[in-house]
Structure 1
Amino acid sequence: MVITRRRIMEYKIKPGDTLTSIAIKFFHDPKKSNLIAEENGIIDPNKINIDQVITIPNEDDKAQITSEPKAAVKLTKSQLKRFLTHASEDTVNRFCEPLNDMMERFGITTKLRVAHFLAQVAHESAEFSAVSENLNYSANALRTVFGNYFLTEQQAQDCARKPEVIANIVYSNRMGNGDQESGDGWRYRGRGLIQLTGNNNYQSFKKCVDVDVVTDPDLVAKDPSLAVASACWFWQTNNINRYADRDDLNKVTRLINGGTNGLHQRGVLLERAKAILD
């Protein structure tokens, strides 16, 4: 079914929530779970995540539901090659099928959603070439990017060009990671097309895909399906489709990046994706 309605409320999923319990909470009717699933592009009702933000549809607009489902947009290898202008043939071949599979699974199914998703992941991963975080910073870069952690020039000099040391400093005691000595900062550094980072996120993603990426986090970088799925999981968890549907590049970028870094280039990639999909 396809639903077009005014969106009136957002809800963050809590431990123990199911789509049925959420439907009962808002509509007093468990059957309305299908409306919530369709509104948020949830293909598998059993695959919702704690802290995922969903939109609660307006019950009064249910007459706008149509009975015919709309097929998910599928990328061809030719289209992906035209979009990834700097990617190798091998990269295109490895990522095309996982993109189609995972975008459909996570509800990124319209041309506008696919275009925004491709623009963001291409920018974040340097056209799918950087699927593991590069922490090989110079002393200068450490003071610029991580100035809160490297307060003196000597601290920065001591840690420069030591990626594992840097990760364990800047990612310690947050995002579910232990202290510097635990090694969690390096273990759960950014991987995938949108840089899945931190123990908490790896734990949540593990539950979603039923693959033990906590014990072996490198799988997120090595397996194209998991590299794509981690980005789709982040996209769905933060309900970014709602801003892609509005063609709001600025808001989509803020949700991905935390700011507007690279906004112009993301816009160039978005227009390229739109042209190719159209």
Structure 2
Amino acid sequence: MARWEAITPLMRNARVNWECELERVGKLQWWDQVKGKVEGFPDSPVAHHIHPVALVGNFQSTPFLCPHCGSDMTISAGFLKKIFPGISDENAAGYAVALNPVFVKYKINTCNRISHFLGQCDVECAGFTAFKEDLFYKDGDKLWGTYPSPLKNGLNRLHPDWTDAQIESYAKAHLIRNDPELGIVLFGDSAYPNCDYRGRGLIHLTWLENYRRYKEYSGVDVVTDPLRLEYDKAVAADSAGWFWSMHSINQHADANNPKKVTTMINPGLKKLIERKAASQRVFSKLNNGCEPCRAQWEATATGANGW
């Protein structure tokens, strides 16, 4: 206490408050009373501290390496801009932050797995430029030919007294150039009449049942607020990783089989050629010739694997 008491003459008008402070400080000086006397306490008063921010920063600066070839797979804004030329600066920066923890969390952690994941994103979200399914149609006959059963089911749900002829006529005449209503018709649900559950996110999560399952898993309420999958980058990325994991797509990426990877995401194999080309483009940039992943990729890029 001698050092504290030496300040007392300087307190002048604050002397009464200072004496209260000295009493408080005195009560904190209990080390000599406990050292060597309390089980588990050290004899030395020296304490070692780890700065929490520095600790987190150290983990963040650790490269995310492929366990097979050692290639650095940390996703940066610059990397995303090289792979997806249409991506905005904002989306490149935001998704670089969102993707790295998703890849760790869902073990999308090799050259093959990340290449196929991002290759699918190239088609699903148009190279990180469109995070919801576009339902803008100009041709009524094309619209009807694309979605005959979903249109019938959706309009029957909304207008149970309509005939098939009325449904077809309405769809062709009123659901063209009408993205919002078409979304409600095709992907709506009576339980949530003002929402539609079209494809959203990086790997376009679709249908209420999938939205509901992701909500149950994550705790993020994308059921009453489905737009979270579209505008919240962390949710868009995490939902894609969750879907990938739930359908065990890593095993097909490990086998370098783009056809099976695509089947799990789009059973109709829409734009398979583009998905394959994007996966190859990502792999070339990500792996950068590192072995043994490069040799394994080339050896398995066969017709039998869907190439």
Q: TM-score, normalised by structure 1?
A: 0.67
Counterpart in the other structure of 1:23: none
Which amino acid letter does the alignment assign opposite residue 83 of structure 2? Answer: F
- Answer yes or no: is the 8 Å Cα contact 2:86–2:129 preserved in 1: no
1:167 aligns with 2:210: no
1:154 aligns with 2:155: no
Q: Map residues 213-252 of structure 1 onto 2, 5 A cutoff.
A: 213-252=222-261
Q: TM-score, normalised by structure 2?
A: 0.61
Which amino acid letter does the alignment assign opposite residue 189 of structure 1? Answer: R
- C-alpha separation in 2, matches of 1:140 and 1:97: 43
State the shift of 1:75 in Å. 1.7
Counterpart in the other structure of 2:129: 129
Q: Map residues 1-278 of structure 1 onto 2, 5 A cutoff.
A: 70=67, 73-138=73-138, 139-148=140-149, 149=151, 154-155=169-170, 156-172=172-188, 177-178=189-190, 182-183=192-193, 186-278=195-287
- C-alpha separation in 1, matches of 2:255 and 2:95: 27
- Answer yes or no: is the 8 Å Cα contact 1:83–1:273 preserved in 2: yes
- Answer yes or no: is the 8 Å Cα contact 2:86–2:127 preserved in 1: yes
- Answer yes or no: is the 8 Å Cα contact 1:115–1:274 preserved in 2: yes
Counterpart in the other structure of 1:11: none
Moved more, 257-266 or 235-244: 257-266
Moved more, 197-206 or 121-130: 197-206
State the shift of 1:271 in Å. 1.0
Counterpart in the other structure of 1:42: none
- Answer yes or no: is the 8 Å Cα contact 1:121–1:231 preserved in 2: no
Unpaired segments ≥5 residues, structure 1: 1-68
Counterpart in the other structure of 2:60: none
- C-alpha separation in 1, matches of 2:211 and 2:269: 25
Which amino acid letter does the alignment assign opposite residue 105 of structure 1? Answer: K
State the shift of 1:168 in Å. 2.6
State the shift of 1:137 in Å. 1.9
- % identical equivalent positions: 31
How many residues align? The count is: 203
- Answer yes or no: is the 8 Å Cα contact 2:81–2:92 preserved in 1: yes
- Answer yes or no: is the 8 Å Cα contact 1:167–1:189 preserved in 2: yes
State the shift of 1:154 in Å. 2.2
Which amino acid letter does the alignment assign opposite residue 257 of structure 2? Answer: D
State the shift of 1:204 in Å. 1.3
Moved more, 217-226 or 85-94: 85-94
- C-alpha separation in 1, matches of 2:190 and 2:242: 24
State the shift of 1:189 in Å. 2.4
Name the structure with the higher helix share: 2
Q: Answer with 1 or 2: which has the greater Rg.
A: 2
Query: RMSD in angstroms over aligned alpha carbons?
Result: 2.2
- Answer yes or no: is the 8 Å Cα contact 2:108–2:114 preserved in 1: yes
Which amino acid letter does the alignment assign opposite residue 143 of structure 1? Answer: W
- C-alpha separation in 2, matches of 1:89 and 1:272: 20
State the shift of 1:209 in Å. 2.0
